[in-house]
A = this chain, B = another copy of it.
Amino acid sequence: MQELTGLRFKRLLLTGAAGTLGRMLRPRLKRYCETLRVSDLAAMEPAGDGEEVVIAPLEDEAAMLALLEGVDAVLHFGGVSVEKPFSTVLPANIVGAYNLYEAARRQGTRRIVFASSNHVTGFYGQGETILANVVPRPDSFYGLSKAFGENLAQYYFDRHGLETVSIRIGSCLPEPQDRRHLASWLSHDDMERLLVAALSAPVVGHSIVYGCSDNRTTWWDNAQGRHVGYRPQDSSEPWRAQLEAKQPHIDPTRPEARYQGGVFVTQGPFPFAGQPGGEGA
């Protein structure tokens, strides 16, 4: 894929660089900056040309302050990205998000692209289409922590002028794996398109955009975020027939089918006792 912008940032920071998405994004982001600083808890590939590799736990306030030094903009992919007990989600995604934003404020960072999640609104139904300004209906502790991050981003913009694009990522995978992904899939190239748009738009305040490809089926309408300039180019359509053939029967009364969040809505050591949402209204 050709370069998507004429901008070249002095130093971008990618957190969560050891994760699956982080590893995919690292070489892609390198092209848009002089220096790419990557960080994570865990060991990463050694620094290549124009790279800086830092081990920095999100929970460590001092480490985060140091990490943000000299950073123009952050792509915050660090933290827990699946459902976990609250005690696990809390330090990584809540304390960690606070540490990141506070460090960014103190270091004068201008913008954060926040890897939020569709699980912020996972309790809306698969039978409805929503805009980004709906009331959050998180489907998990994970989704709850991402809703916290979005509110934090709004606060840091309103109070401190620090801008954020919150991306409610769908299913970012090389290929869609099941029928839910026909709606939620975000290709790797479209992820790059979205990140570059979020970094290069001159003014964003705090904007929220769903991260999905140009799938024929979707639950999300980004009409309110056109100023961010994201235009997906990929689609889950080529996988449709094959995935539908593989998974012909879906029971629409099961929670994981009824809700956009899929299996997230039933995870954890307790039975599902919630209420189906506003489909059909």
Measured CB to CB, the residues of A under 8 A from B are: 3, 5-8, 86, 90, 94-95, 98, 102, 105, 110, 123-129, 133-140, 143-144, 147-148, 151-152, 154-155, 157-161, 163, 179-180, 182-183, 197, 200-207, 216-221, 223-231, 240-246, 248, 250, 252-253, 257-258, 265, 270, 272-281
| Further contacts, 18 of them, CB under 8 A, given A110-B252, A220-B226, A253-B275 | A90-B95, A90-B98, A94-B94, A105-B270, A123-B159, A126-B203, A129-B224, A137-B281, A140-B155, A143-B155, A148-B148, A148-B151, A203-B252, A218-B226, A218-B229, A221-B226, A276-B276, A277-B281
Residues of B within 8 A of A272 (CB): 159
Decide if A135 touches B133 in the complex (CB within 8 Å). Answer: yes
Residues of B within 8 A of A128 (CB): 205, 207, 224, 227
Q: In the complex, how many angstroms separate the beta carbon of A239 from the nearest chain B beta carbon?
A: 9
Decide if B137 touches A158 in the complex (CB within 8 Å). Answer: yes
Decide if B154 touches A137 in the complex (CB within 8 Å). Answer: yes
Which listed residue (B98, B225, B240, B280) contacts A207, Cβ 8 A? B280
Residues of B within 8 A of A126 (CB): 202-203, 227
A183-B218 Cα distance, complex, nearest whole Å:
24
Residues of B within 8 A of A8 (CB): 248
Q: A160-B274, A240-B6 are in contact. Are A127 and B205 (CB under 8 A)?
A: yes
Decide if A161 touches B273 in the complex (CB within 8 Å). Answer: yes
Residue picked from A90, A124, A205, A272, most chain B C-beta under 10 Å: A205
Residues of B within 8 A of A258 (CB): 203
A-B contact pairs, 26 of them (CB 8 A): A5-B244, A6-B241, A6-B242, A6-B244, A6-B245, A94-B148, A123-B155, A126-B203, A127-B204, A128-B207, A135-B154, A137-B154, A137-B280, A138-B154, A147-B148, A157-B275, A158-B265, A158-B275, A160-B274, A179-B202, A200-B244, A204-B280, A216-B229, A216-B230, A218-B229, A278-B281
